[in-house]
Amino acid sequence: LNLGVKGIRAFDIFADDGRDINVKIREQLEGMDKRDFYTFTQQLELLNFGWRNEKKKLYFSGGLYEELDFIAYFPKDFATFTLIGNEDPLGKELDISQLKSTAALLTVFHFGMQKKMNKQLTVGGRLKIYSELASYRAIDNSGKFITEQLEDGNNVYTHTLESVNINIQTSGYAAINTLNVAGGENVSKDIQSELTSRALLGGNLGMGIDFGLTYQFEDNWVVTGSVTDLGFITHSKDVETYQVRGTYEFEGLETPTKNDPIRLDTFLEDLESRIAQDTITRSYTTFRSAKLQGSLRKSFHRITNSSGCDCWWQNDDEEQYAGAYGVQVFSQFRPRGPQFAASAFIYRRIFSNLRVKATYTLDSFSFHNVGLLLSTNISVFNFYIAGDNLIDYANLAKARSASLQFGFNLIF
Amino acid sequence: LFEIVPKMNIKKTMKIVTVGFLLLLLGVSCVKGVDFDQAEDVSVQPIYELDFVYSRIRPINFNNGISNEFIPTLRDTLRDELFSGEITDKLLAVDLFVSFENSVNRSFGTNLQFLDANNVVLRNIFVNAAAGTPSNPVTTTHTIALTRVELNTLVLATKLVTAVTMSNGATDLDGILHLKSKAIYYTSLLDE
């Protein structure tokens, strides 16, 4: 579970400092910009399994997980227009391209293979089938709404909707909405049944790959790299794209133009004739939000067994070192460009069955993100729990992001 | 190293790790220095300015078009969309700002009449424009404040009649009467 807010914290608005909250909201509004964003990502591992072929030095894995991913960039001009209006100079121009947001709920079926090519190099790949339950995507918007005073204008202002092009792509929404509107006793059951069907390969399907490698260029130095979710989804079922396009200029209503007692024309009809609104059911394809990861790790404190034998090579899978430190980088492609994070980490195997990893991360949200992971291996069980931004736990109101992961694996 | 810790049972260890970690988070986590009750004081009261009506009227427009005779008043009727729609419930008040730039050597009077579906006048606003000259136009401005109570009546308006009357008029005079106007909407988006 990851939750992030770039640009504002609860403390910035709700600080108990005796100041008018509306003044603080306005100050924060002025300080934010269109690159600030809100993200929410949740993954639920439903099934994960793997097995090893010792002879061929192959490791196979497969599974199924659910994912909900949302990002919305801060539409500063629209927020200003809503909070302040267009009387203030700040509200006189709305850049419609600031409307950028996507969300997708899907299940991912995956099967992968990892092979140790030699003592130094291990490569792995994973094929993914996406089955999307629902999504929307509003990133290809353009145009402006401008309120300006022209010297030779007919009226006080000229209001212009300039080259407006709004596209909101949805899939999986219309049918659910129809079921919901229709109502009835079984509406919840019908919606649940529809969503379950979509989750089990009945949704909009797509395909993707993960690819990674590990290279041990010295005995205790390892470099890793991977790309995940390099894929696409074809949206052909239950698709609706809402489009608004056109240009319209409004200077008020000209009246009287002549001695005409009944002239009931209207600017709303004029507006509708010039700004076309359409609902399109044509299928479309979207690319997944691919992620890149890399790390450089140096291990230390070589482990020997109780007999004193430094015999790690006898089994490639045994951990050879009790500790490691290094750096790792992460990047994810988003509608307004990639997001980056870089971490320094230290890892330590404290007891035979307890591992700890601490990280210090610089990312889009903060420069003081300290994280901690605990992992325990007992018998066939592996259990882990990890949290981020531990410093901000001292006062969550000042936190810009939070992340929590936990789970367990059965290892045979 | 493998023998440092005696074997622990799975359930116990998982419990210790989880509880320990959560206690660590909970032990240090809190929300302080904030007052979320301030949310009740949030007010969203944007002010929107939108053009209302305009006209450029020359004396020749006061020609009846048939017998070339002077008619004192120009009048037409528009569908009123000023105070309709969902925004109506959010209005606190409206100011109508009207400006005349008059380069005709005559004064003008303008009536803005809001009519309901039965053509009953709900509100009549009269504004005048002082006489000017082609070389020295005169600007006259008016601000008409419409309160929430008045707006409750005006939401019933379906038509807007604009009538411009020229005093002691003649169709062969020089100059132009330029009417500009805007409506300033004071809204409160969070109030019921």
Q: Nearest residue of A to residue B42 by CA position?
A: A22
User: Distance between CA atoms of B17 and A374, rounded to whole angstroms?
Assistant: 7
Residue A152 has pLDDT above 90, yes or no: no
The residue among A146 and A302 whose pLDDT is bigger is A146
> Can you tell me which residue has the tokens 């450089």?
A296
Q: What is the pLDDT of residues A330-344, one digit of tens each?
A: 999 998 889 899 999
- Of the candidates B33, B42, B77, which has its C-beta nearest A22's C-beta? B42
Q: What is the pTM of this model?
A: 0.81
A348 CB-contact burial (10 Å; exposed 0-12 / middle 13-18 / buried 19+): middle
C-alpha pair distances (Å), A223 with each of A296, A357, A363, A400, B112: 4, 18, 21, 30, 78
- Of the candidates B3, B44, B81, which has its C-beta nearest A267's C-beta? B81
* Residues of chain B above pLDDT 70, percent: 80
Could you tell me how many CB contacts below 8 A there are between chain A and chain B?
A: 206
Residue A123 has pLDDT above 90, yes or no: yes
Q: What is the pLDDT of residues B70-93, one digit of tens each?
A: 888 998 888 776 666 677 788 999
The residue among A289 and A390 whose pLDDT is bigger is A289
Report yes or no: A393 at the B interface, CB cutoff 8 Å: yes
Instruction: Give the mean pLDDT of A118-138.
Output: 95
Residue B3 has pLDDT above 50, yes or no: no
Q: What is the pLDDT of residues B47-68, one digit of tens each?
A: 999 999 999 999 998 887 777 7
Cβ separation of B76 and A381 shorter than 8 Å? no
Report yes or no: A354 at the B interface, CB cutoff 8 Å: yes
Cβ separation of B75 and A259 shorter than 8 Å? yes
Which residue, among A155, A257, A377, A390, would best test binding to B if mutated, counting the most B CBs under 10 Å from its CB?
A: A155
pLDDT, mean over chain B: 84
Cβ separation of A14 and B39 shorter than 8 Å? yes
C-alpha pair distances (Å), A25 with each of A28, A77, A142: 5, 15, 27
* Residues of chain A above pLDDT 90, percent: 49
Window 309-348 of A: residues touching B by CB (8 A cutoff) are: 322
Q: Nearest residue of B to residue A321 by CA position?
A: B1
Cβ separation of A378 and B50 shorter than 8 Å? no
pLDDT of residue A55: 81
Residue A263 has pLDDT above 60, yes or no: no
Angstroms from A11 CA to nearest CA on chain B: 6
Cβ separation of B28 and A374 shorter than 8 Å? no
Q: What is the pLDDT of residues A4-29, one digit of tens each?
A: 777 777 888 888 888 999 999 888 88
Cβ separation of B1 and A352 shorter than 8 Å? yes
Instruction: Give the mean pLDDT of A249-260.
Output: 80
User: Distance between CA atoms of A2 and A402, rounded to whole angstroms?
Assistant: 6
Indicate the DSSP class of residue A202: I
Contact partners, residue A181, CB within 8 Å, separation at least 6: none
- Of the candidates B21, B42, B48, which has its C-beta nearest A374's C-beta? B21
Contact partners, residue A282, CB within 8 Å, separation at least 6: A239, A241
Residues in B touching A148 (Cβ below 8 Å): none
User: Distance between CA atoms of A161 and A96, rounded to whole angstroms?
Assistant: 10
Angstroms from B49 CA to nearest CA on chain A: 6
Cβ separation of B38 and A374 shorter than 8 Å? no
Residues in B touching A303 (Cβ below 8 Å): 1
A204 CB-contact burial (10 Å; exposed 0-12 / middle 13-18 / buried 19+): buried
Cβ separation of B41 and A261 shorter than 8 Å? no
Identify whether the C-beta of residue A312 lies closer than 8 Å to the C-beta of residue A296. Answer: no
Residues in A touching B2 (Cβ below 8 Å): 305-306, 352
pLDDT of residue B25: 60
Across A56-65, A230-239, A257-266, which has the greatest mean pLDDT? A230-239
Angstroms from B99 CA to nearest CA on chain A: 9
Q: Nearest residue of B to residue A10 by CA position?
A: B34
Q: Nearest residue of B to residue A393 by CA position?
A: B29
What pLDDT band is residue A310 in, cutting at 50, 70 and 90? Answer: very low
In three-state secondary structure terms, B157 is coil
Cβ separation of B78 and A255 shorter than 8 Å? yes
pLDDT of residue A271: 81
Q: What is the pLDDT of residues A180-204, one digit of tens each?
A: 888 778 888 888 999 999 999 999 9
Which residue, among A16, A151, A253, A272, would best test binding to B if mutated, counting the most B CBs under 10 Å from its CB?
A: A253
Neighbours of B68 (CB within 10 A): 8
Angstroms from B150 CA to nearest CA on chain A: 22
Q: What is the pLDDT of residues A90-102, one digit of tens each?
A: 668 899 999 999 9
Q: Nearest residue of A to residue B84 by CA position?
A: A268
Q: What is the pLDDT of residues B15-49, one digit of tens each?
A: 666 666 666 665 556 777 888 888 888 989 999 99
Residue A255 has pLDDT above 80, yes or no: yes
Instruction: Give the mean pLDDT of A315-331.
Output: 79
User: Distance between CA atoms of A108 and A238, rounded to whole angstroms?
Assistant: 19
Residue B149 has pLDDT above 70, yes or no: yes
Encoding tokens for residue A186?
């079984």
Instruction: Give the mean pLDDT of A220-243.
Output: 95
Instruction: Give the mean pLDDT of A297-305.
Output: 81
Report yes or no: B172 at the A interface, CB cutoff 8 Å: no
Show the DSSP H helices in A355-405 as ranges: none
pLDDT, mean over chain A: 87
Angstroms from A256 CA to nearest CA on chain B: 5
pLDDT of residue A69: 95
